[in-house]
Structure 1
Amino acid sequence: MNEMNGIGLRIYPSGARYVGQWKNGVRDGVGTMVWSNRNLYRGEWKCGAMNGYGEYVWNGFFNKTFTWPQEASYIGHWRHGMRHGKGEIKLNSVGGAKYSGYWKDNKKHGYGIIIGSNGEKFEFDPLFLNDILYAPNVVADNLENEIETKNEKECVRTVKEIKPLFIEKPDQLTETLATPILKPEQFLDLFYYIARLLDPKSLEPSLVLSTSSGKCYSCENESCSCLTHSVSIDATTSEENDISQTNASKEMIDSNWRYEERWTYSCLMFHMFRLRQIYNDYAKLFAKSAPKCNLAMSKLCLWQLWRDCGIHEKGFSLVEIDSYIAKNEITGIKDPHHPFEKIEIWQFLHALLETSWHLYTKHNDIEIEEMNGKLAGGLHRFLKNDVYPHAGNHIGSLCYENQDLLPIYCVFELYQQIGYPPSARDLLRATCNLKDSSFVFFNGMIIFSIASSL
């Protein structure tokens, strides 16, 4: 009927392009739009506007290399061309700072989480009201339950209910909450490491009340039922002694905690320039000519660094290293064995701290003389002895051959379909189409013994 309908490509006079679905002469369905300023959107459209789920990237470019650029982007839901509903916006910055939460008519509104450039989380409900950072004691607007058919009167009523809160309590506007978004990446959350060093029991919930030696002094039995009950003998004096001992031990832990934290941050700042260089070099390891922008390291690059430094030859495998790092929830690792997962620089620092713990810090017989603090001393020795002398001396041919993203990623998809993570036997059986077969690994070679049925 003389109107664009179906799938097609349109080139606008400004140079902008759209390819995707059309309906009655306007963009409708799924499509990709690239503007002349290099901004692009790919996702759902309705009546010519972004509507539904989609991804918007500012200043995008076509990446032909095996790298992960830091992009300023928004991934989430849209309504009438504006961000509306649940979505996540990422900043093109070192550390990959981002906001994940709810939006209303292109403004941050409702529950949200800010993840700073050092990985620190800042979460409240609501976190923003009409794009203004709000105090945590305000009742949430519950944007998640808002439906598409909400009428105009309800929207006006909601705004009128929120507005008096700003007028009656102007102090909430001046008392800006401290957000971690501008914190340098070397100021990590060290709770997991210091607690493991000074107070390991704090990482595990204690369900049984016991004495310091672990046995009952009434019956001299370590597994008696007395341990499950509190001691009531001479309650007044025992309680006072317990309180004084608890306060003294708490003050000592607090003092040691501040000491370890201060020296660990000092150690990170001391090595930060060199660590940034290593991170950037390995982030572009699999690209002959990397794009000139902020790049993020992939898990595959981190594995190459461990291999170059010979970490896998010091008592635990690369699989164990990944598991140890992912055990700390602060690291934000989604899949410990996924080769293409992004590793931000603050996650890279977490990986160094965790590895140095297992190699140096947890061994009490090792004395650190060059750096005060046990965590800082272990990290300093790990960097000096293992990382700096070997970083850049690549072992193997992975970083020189097969640098195309498509073949490697396709092999990994096949790897996942077999039953992630499969063993070498499962992988060979699936790729070689061997059903009833057995094979033996001998000196780097594979010896097949195929059944007669094949």
Structure 2
Amino acid sequence: GEFVCNKPMGRGVYTWPDGNSYEGEVYSGIRHGSGTYKCTKNYLSYKGQWYQGERHGKGTVYYNEDKTSWYKGEWMKNNREGWGVRCYPSGNIYSGEWKNNMRHGEGTMKWLKQGQEYVGTWQDGVQHGRGTHVWILRRVDGSQYFQSNHYKGDFVQGQRHGQGTFHYASGAVYEGEWRNNKKHGQGKFTFTDGRVFEGEFVDDQMMTPSLRAPTPLGAFPLSDSDSVLGPDMALNIECLLEKVPERKRDTERKQVEFVVLRQDIQLRSIYSFYSRLGCVCSPDNTFLLSRLQLWRLLKDCNIHHHGITLTQIDHVIRDDASSAEIHSPFTPILLWKLLRCLVITAYHIYNKDMMSQKNLLASCLSKMMTDDILPNAKNVKGFLFRQPDLAVVAMKYVKRCWEVYQAYCRVSTASKDDLTMTCRHLLWMFKDLQLLDHKLTTVKLMDIITAESCDPSNRSSCLDLQITFLEFFEVLLGCAEVKCQQTSEVLEEGRRPLSGCDSEARRDVPEGEASEEMMQTINSPSLSSEDFTAQDVESGDIKTNINETPSSAEHREERSEGNDVQTSVMETKDHKVELRTQAVHQFFNHIFFPAFDHHQLVTRNTEEKLRQDALRHNTLA
């Protein structure tokens, strides 16, 4: 290597008698800078930064020949310190902060074989502080559980200790104190059927057997052994049974359970279908229905056409939920909560029509299942979930749009502790944000708002109706199509196949220039829903049979044409997905959010000016 003043300096290669070697930068004969060290005896190797002969800075170590055990990250004086990723021979992976070769600080550990994951604080190599531990339960479709066991709370020396919440796969929840991995101290245990125990726990055991029902009026439900349903489907309908003579309550409950049992497969399938809407994937194949997806199910089944709004349904199924939770799109809905929602909603819709029936609650549920749920479920409507590719993109904007929705909610006249939005408030918002123009007119906006109402022509009748966040968000997506349509048409024109010399000329345009030109004009809406789907591409009408042997040039030409058709279909589908995606990005990032932020800034400045003027006036007075 290089020498300066008779000293190894610069770049060079060291080779030791035992076969170990170093190649890289050297200062005064010491490894300093960037370089690679290899140990032939135990197959250890390090590539990265050095400081005065020690691993220091960023670098990667492989600890075995197969390179299945490694660390990539920051070093300090030969120790793992800072941020880095460690893959162990077992396949387990830790990514996060390190100190003195130990997991220390914020980090994530995945135990692959055990199916566990911890995200949170570490100290001296073990969980210590706040964190979340998940026991991943790999489930198959149609199985009993829709979530995995997970604990969120305090850890001390690797054990659950302090305050924490444990969510069980069955749907049960414990919130309270822990000691040495056991429920110990004051806590609240919510059973899968909604029953609640609040009191003292000692070594995982309830000390005072006092249960209360989740509703203020009802007694706690029958035990799971008395029910014909499984624990994940145990019904809590005490609020309805209170309306039934006491001698008939057990019979009413049993008959409702029989209706649910007859539709068990369909109900689980519906739950599974809607819980996946807008979701990309789940590591344990578990999907938990959210209130946002529940709203979509109810709208798909036209429940809102029966004289009850989605916000009213939120109220009748609220239990003891806080006012902040009853309209939140993020609230998880377990299977038993969905069933409870359907039973209560069916009663409110059909109780007058079914009054003469022997079993009122069961008759109402059976009628709603037959007339509304089963014929319409899974036929997804609306602007959000109807197009799966667009839904995944749109869901990224839900959290920010929820903040906007809350900013425009007002106190409800029906309930003083309830903040909701009406269609009138929504119109005022579009006016305040100056979003209306020659493309998005007031009439067009009202058409979007009333698209799924039972009487779209009667626009004025819906002005004072309360709307949920789903309805608010889908109006925004509908407006994205309208406001971005012009650019979409320009793009569509540019995408039409060229022929003859035009096609040849197009080939001469460098790919980078073509892409840049395309990106300058992308501002597109969602096109017609009559797109080719993946099923179209895979169908026999388009795909040629690879087992057929062409017997002539004509057959070869037909196959070539078939492949061209398949390629064209895929390109068309990909292009339309791109247009929809760009429309959503353009509307939210360049139109809606900037308009909202500007209006908020102007409002704050105006309020501050008025406050200063009032203070000045009071001072002069």
State TM-score, norm by structure 2: 0.48
* 274, 284, 288: which one aligns with 1:296: 288
Query: Hey, what's the Cα distance between the residues in 1 that align with 2:391 and 2:101?
Result: 37
**Counterpart secondary structure, 2:128:** strand
**Equivalent in 268, 273, 283 of residue 265 of structure 2:** 273
Q: Per the alignment, in what secondary structure is the counterpart of residue 375 of structure 2? A: coil
1:428-443 matches, within 5 Å, as 428=430, 440-442=442-444, 443=446
Q: Of 379, 392, 399, which aligns to 2:365?
A: 379
Q: Is the 8 A contact 2:136 2:284 kept in 1?
A: no
Q: Secondary structure at the match of 1:301?
A: helix
Find the aligned partners of 1:111 and 1:286 in 2 and give their Cα distance.
Answer: 38
- Cα RMSD of the aligned pairs, angstroms, is 3.6
Do 2:354 and 2:360's aligned partners in 1 also have CA atoms closer than 8 Å?
A: no
In the TM superposition, residue 433 of structure 1 has moved relative to its aligned partner by: 7.9
1:382-393 equivalent positions in 2, closer than 5 A: 382-393=368-379
1:57-100: CA deviation from partner (whole Å, max 9, x where unpaired): 12379xxxxxx96122111110011110121222234xx22322
Q: Once the two structures are superposed, what CA deviation does each residue of 1:141-184 show, in whole Å capped at 9, x if it has no partner?
A: xxxxxxxxxxxxxxxxxxxxxxxxxxxxxxxxxxxxx9869962
Classify 1:290/1:110 alpha carbon distance in 2 versus 1 (closer, same or farther; 3 Å): closer
Query: Aligned equivalents of 2:124 and 2:283: distance in 1?
Result: 36
What do the CA deviations read for 1:394-449 (whole angstroms, capped 9, x no partner)?
22353342547774344222223335163434654687789xxx97344527899x
Q: Distance in 2 between matches of 1:295 and 1:336?
A: 21
Match of 1:114 among 164, 189, 192: 189
Q: Given the alignment, which residue of 398, 405, 416 partners 2:402?
A: 416
Larger radius of gyration: 2
CA spacing shift, 1:59–1:418, aligned 2, 3 Å: closer
Mark the CA change 1:99 to 1:319 in structure 2 (over 3 Å): closer, same or farther. Answer: same
Read off the aligned partner of 1:416 and give its amino acid letter.
Answer: W
Offset at 1:53? 0.6
Query: How do residues 166-181 of structure 1 correspond to structure 2 at under 5 angstroms?
Result: none
Residue 399 of structure 1 corresponds to: 385
Q: Which amino acid aligns with 1:97?
A: A
**8 Å CA contact retained: 1:4, 1:26:** yes
Question: Contact between 1:45 and 1:51, CA under 8 Å: does it hold in 2?
Answer: yes
Change in Cα spacing, 1:5 to 1:69, as seen in structure 2 (3 Å) is farther
State the partner residue of 1:313.
305
Shift of 1:352: 0.4
Q: Which of the residues 232, 236, 240 maps onto 1:185?
A: 232
Paired position in structure 1 for 2:343? 353
Aligned residues: percent identity? 29
Per the alignment, do residues 346 and 431 of structure 1 end up closer, same or farther by CA in structure 2, a change over 3 Å counting?
A: farther
Q: In 2 relative to 1, CA 48–427 (structure 1 residues): closer, same or farther, beyond 3 Å?
A: farther
Query: After the TM superposition, which of the residue ranges 394-403 and 339-348 deviates more from structure 2?
Result: 394-403
Other-structure match for 2:80:
4
Tell me the amino acid that sits aligned with residue 236 of structure 2: D
Match status 1:125 vs 2:199: yes
Report if aligned partners of 1:40, 1:60 keep a CA contact under 8 Å in 2. no
Instruction: Indicate whether 1:284 and 2:286 are aligned.
Output: no
Asked whether 1:27 is paired with 2:103, we answer yes
Deviation at 1:382, TM superposition (A): 1.3
Unaligned runs of 5+ in 2: 1-76, 139-144, 211-221, 409-424, 449-478, 484-594, 596-601, 603-621
CA 1:317 to 1:351, structure 2 compared with 1: closer, same or farther past 3 Å? same
Give, in angstroms, the shift of residue 301 of structure 1.
2.1
Conserved? CA contact 1:56–1:75, under 8 Å? yes
CA distance in 1, matches of 2:428, 2:88: 52
What whole-Å deviation, never above 9, does each CA across 1:208-265 have from its counterpart, x for those lacking one? Answer: xxxxxxxxxxxxxxxxxxxxxxxxxxxxxxxxxxxxxxxxxxxxx4213334333333
Hey, what's the Cα distance between the residues in 2 that align with 1:309 and 1:11? 49
Match of 1:104 among 169, 179, 189: 179
In the aligned structure 2, how far is the partner of 1:406 from the partner of 1:42?
Answer: 25
Change (3 A) 1:179 1:190: closer
Secondary structure, counterpart of 2:317 in structure 1: helix
Aligned mates of 2:251, 2:277 — CA distance in 1 = 37
Name the CA distance, whole Å, in 2 between partners of 1:344 and 1:59.
18
**Comparing 74-83 with 110-119, which one deviates more in the overlay?**
110-119
Q: Distance in 1 between matches of 2:90 and 2:291?
A: 40
Distance (whole Å) between structure 2 residues aligned to residue 119 and residue 125 of structure 1: 16
- Residue pairs, 1:245-284, within 5 angstroms: 253-284=245-276
Tell me if the contact between 1:34 and 1:41 (Cα under 8 Å) persists in the aligned partners: yes
- The superposition leaves residues 191-224 of structure 1 with CA deviations (integer Å, 9 ceiling, x where unpaired) of 21122x24xxxxxxxxxxxxxxxxxxxxxxxxxx
Quickly say closer, same or farther: Cα 1:410–1:432, change in 2 above 3 A.
Answer: farther
* Contact 2:276 2:287 survives alignment (8 Å): yes
Supply the distance in 1 between the matched residues of 2:282 and 2:400 (Cα, whole angstroms): 27
Mark the CA change 1:315 to 1:343 in structure 2 (over 3 Å): closer, same or farther.
Answer: same
| Separation of aligned partners in 1, 2:390 and 2:183 | 38
| 1:49-60 map, 5 Å | 49-59=126-136
Structure 1 position 43, deviation (Å) = 0.3
CA–CA distance in structure 1, aligned partners of residues 270 and 128 of structure 2: 42
CA distance in 2, matches of 1:90, 1:258: 30
- The normalised TM-score by structure 1 is 0.64
Q: Which letter does structure 1 place at the counterpart of 2:153? A: G
Closer/same/farther in 2, CA of residues 256 and 42 from structure 1, 3 Å limit:
same
